[in-house]
Structure 1
Amino acid sequence: MNRQIHIKQQIFRIVFVIAILLFVASCKSAKSIVASGKASDKLSAKQVIKQHQKSDADFKTLQGKVKIEITQNQKEQGSTFNLRIEKDKVIWLSAKLGLARMMITPEKVRFYNKLDNEYFDGDYKLLSDFVGVDLDFNKVQNILLGQAIFDLKGEPHTVSVNENSYALQPKDQNALLELFYLINPSHFKMDSLQLFQQLKKRILQVDYKSYQEVKKQILPKDIRIIAVEDSEEVAITMEFKSITLNEDIRFPFNIPTGYKEIVIK
């Protein structure tokens, strides 16, 4: 296999696993959220931003399972993963039988794959280059919680009503990167995150299909991600199950000896 093509495939694998990590949801006793609110054109951008920031989920730890289906190059595959999170510190994901495992912290992105005997141990540059956004741990965590990835108070925004969502966007859009948030009027979490880079032919769209309440915290339930770069497209759907909050959890991670390092140049 051509080395460049192989590296490209590994990038998509890593991005796929990261995408799995980006979302948190249900538990057995979780209650589905009925979005009955109606968006009002009387709310200002500052008011929408304030309510959105209030909606940020508050928990110490999370663990559970997530069923993932991924479609790439007209091929579909799915599996169930174990997910563990310590808020602001660690996001950990493990496939069945530990065949693949990922752990990200504010400092590092680490991943190994027993099927290919390969591993990645590096910073966020790989992910940032792929999606065209300067990512860090906080941005990843905000996405998984249904929160805006940039500081909404850092610059002025405009708001309008779009199909019963609050369409929030920077007042001065960057010519190289267009950013849109659709905010739900019932609980003020995101309905959708949309990033467009026309010159580089990149699109990242995250649609939050539904939410639910877990121990009084409103969290995403069903997610769909579409990532496009040139003619490459990956579509991911997720169903979250058996999530529990604030229990003692561990994050075992040890790259097996003899594995080949994935180097992205």
Structure 2
Amino acid sequence: MKLLKATYLFVLAVVLVSCGTSRRINGDGTIDERLTAKQLIKESARQEAKFKTLQAKVKIDITQDGKEQGYSVTLRMERNKTIWISATLGLARAMITPDRVQFYDKINNQYFDGDYSLLSDLLGIELNFKQVQSLLIGEPLFNLKDAEYTISNNETSYILTPKTEDPLLELFLLFNPSHFKMDSQQLAQPLKKRFLEMDYTNYQAIENEVLPQTLKIIAVEENEELNIALEYKSLSINEDLRFPFNIPSGFEEITLDDAK
């Protein structure tokens, strides 16, 4: 799938990023040269999110072909159950659950109601709810206990790479030494000329939780590049939230073939 034709679906499906007082974290921890890969994986698991619900206002800037567009959306999340997003005035709305992906667009009178095939086809990797949630809250996209990793570091981050190289998928995971959340996740598919990078440039502390404050996504396919910058304008957790979602009647259904 060409990125140019998939931008609309990419934005709705991937930028579902997630008032309360927050404290910015600069990520100025010190690298421990003695840390092993197993210890890093253990520390990362200890820092997994424990919130019940999350709500945020998110500013989104999308750049492609030299053109930039800005949006503001509301995100609500019930951890491990629901990811919900609503654009201004409810003109577009999406809801993701562990077994279903849904969204509708009132501007074009279209909707999608299906499984994760659309997201998986778009990004070129098999996706599930847990992976989408992890991407949004700064946690590893993959279960690190499923493979063995080699640890290294640069001046600011620990780096994990799989011990066994996969010619179809290259993976680089960069961890912040201050709180062991992600600094960057980078996936490359050389044969398909695809590259996906997610950079978590700032974090914030909310009630003992460490959550992203800014996130940049770079998606490249052949000669096409899509850049998405996300800023969490406000963030609160563990409040009672509603997730209203109802596809309007008369809308045209979007299929996988339509998105290609």
- Class of the TM-score when normalised by the shorter of the 2 chains: over 0.9
Task: Please list the CA deviations of residues 200-240 of structure 1 after superposition, one character each: whole Å capped at 9, or x if unmatched.
Answer: 01111000001010111000001100111222221011111
Distance 1:64 1:147 in 2: 18
Which residue is equivalent to 1:203?
195
CA distance in 2, matches of 1:138, 1:149: 8
Look up the match of 1:101: 93
CA distance in 2, matches of 1:219, 1:174: 30
Tell me the CA shift for residue 36 of structure 1. 2.3
Whether contact under 8 Å (2:4, 2:224) holds in the other structure is no
Q: Distance in 2 between matches of 1:132 and 1:241?
A: 30
Alignment of 1:69-218 (within 5 A): 69-218=61-210
TM-score (norm 2): 0.95
8 Å Cα contact 2:202-2:214 kept in structure 1: yes
Confirm or deny that 1:55 pairs with 2:47. Answer: yes
TM-score w.r.t. length of structure 1: 0.93
Q: Is the 8 A contact 1:61 1:86 kept in 2?
A: yes
5+ unaligned residues in a row in structure 1: which ranges? none
Aligned pair count reads 257
Query: Which residue is 2:243 aligned to?
Result: 251
CA shift, 1:176, in A, is 0.3
Q: Please, which of 253, 257, 260 is the counterpart of residue 252 of structure 2?
A: 260
State the SS of the aligned residue for 1:199.
helix
**The 10-residue stretch of structure 1 (137-146 or 89-98) with the greater mean CA deviation from structure 2:** 137-146
User: What code does the residue aligned with 2:227 have?
Assistant: A
Residue 122 of structure 1 aligns with an amino acid whose one-letter code is G
**Which range moves more in the overlay, 225-234 or 79-88?**
225-234
Percent of aligned pairs with the same amino acid: 51
Q: Pick the aligned partner of 2:226 from 230, 234, 238.
A: 234
Instruction: Deviation per CA, 1:135-159: give whole Å up to 9, x if none.
Output: 0001111111211111111111000
- Equivalent residues in 2 for 1:19-34, closer than 5 Å: 19-21=14-16, 23-24=17-18, 27-34=19-26
- 2:9 is aligned to 14
Task: Show CA shifts across 1:114-165 (max 9, x none).
Answer: 1111111111111111111110001111111211111111111000012221
- Alignment-mate amino acid for residue 59 of structure 2: K
Partner Cα distance (1:260, 1:19) in 2: 22
Over 3 Å counting, the alpha-carbon distance change for 1:31 and 1:144 in structure 2 is same
Tell me by how many angstroms 1:17 deviates: 1.9
The one-character-per-residue Cα deviations of 1:54-82 (angstroms, maximum 9, x if unpaired) are 11121001112101111112111101101
Equivalent-residue separation in structure 1 for 2:20 and 2:59 (angstroms): 15
CA contact (8 A) 1:28 1:241 kept: no
Q: Which runs of 5+ in 2 are unaligned?
A: none
Runs of 4+ in 1 over 3 A off after TM superposition: none
Query: 2:191 is paired with a residue of what secondary structure?
Result: coil
SS in 2 for 1:116: coil
Measured after TM superposition, the shift of residue 20 of structure 1 is: 1.6
**SS at 1:208's partner residue?**
strand
Aligned residues: CA RMSD: 1.6
